[in-house]
Amino acid sequence: MRTQTTISVLAAAAIVLVSASALAQGRHGQGGAQPAQRAQVERGQRDFDRDRLRDRDSVTNPERDRDRIQDQDRTHAPDKAPFGDKDVYGGEYMSVEERNQYREQLRLTESNPEARTKLEAQHQEKMQQRANAQGKTLGPPVENEEAE
């Protein structure tokens, strides 16, 4: 009887050890998925932190946020935006393609005031010549009229 009890205890111990081993492997198997889940959580946290900092910056520095929005508006204007002849000096004497080309040249010279001034002066002279050729007069440009 003693032998039978010993064998039973050993069998029970073996079952407990096998169960514990299987349970440990099950946790380890789940651990293989944990790095991917952890990376996803970390990405989400970084996105959250970035958005939180952006919100904080827009509250503490609204001037910078306003500039960013204006830049987006300027660079992301729809292709068919209703630009009239009035937004470019002498625009009524230009074709749509010429106005768009002139706007692009202005955009490219934003960082160089000297080149921009020279471009504007050349444009004004050209538009005055076109107006004179049609027997019309073109007044002086209004300040910031060409700021498109």
For the stretch 120-145, pLDDT in tens is 999 999 999 999 998 888 888 776 54
CA 75 from chain centre, in angstroms, equals: 11
Round to whole Å and give the CA distance between 145 and 122.
16
Distance, CA of 122 to CA of 37 (rounded, Å): 61
pLDDT band per the 50, 70, 90 thresholds, residue 83: very low
Give the range among 39-43, 114-118, 124-128 with minimum mean pLDDT.
39-43
With contact defined as beta carbons under 8 Å apart, do 90 and 148 qualify? no
- Give the separation between CA 95 and CA 4, rounded to whole angstroms: 105
Average pLDDT of the chain is 78
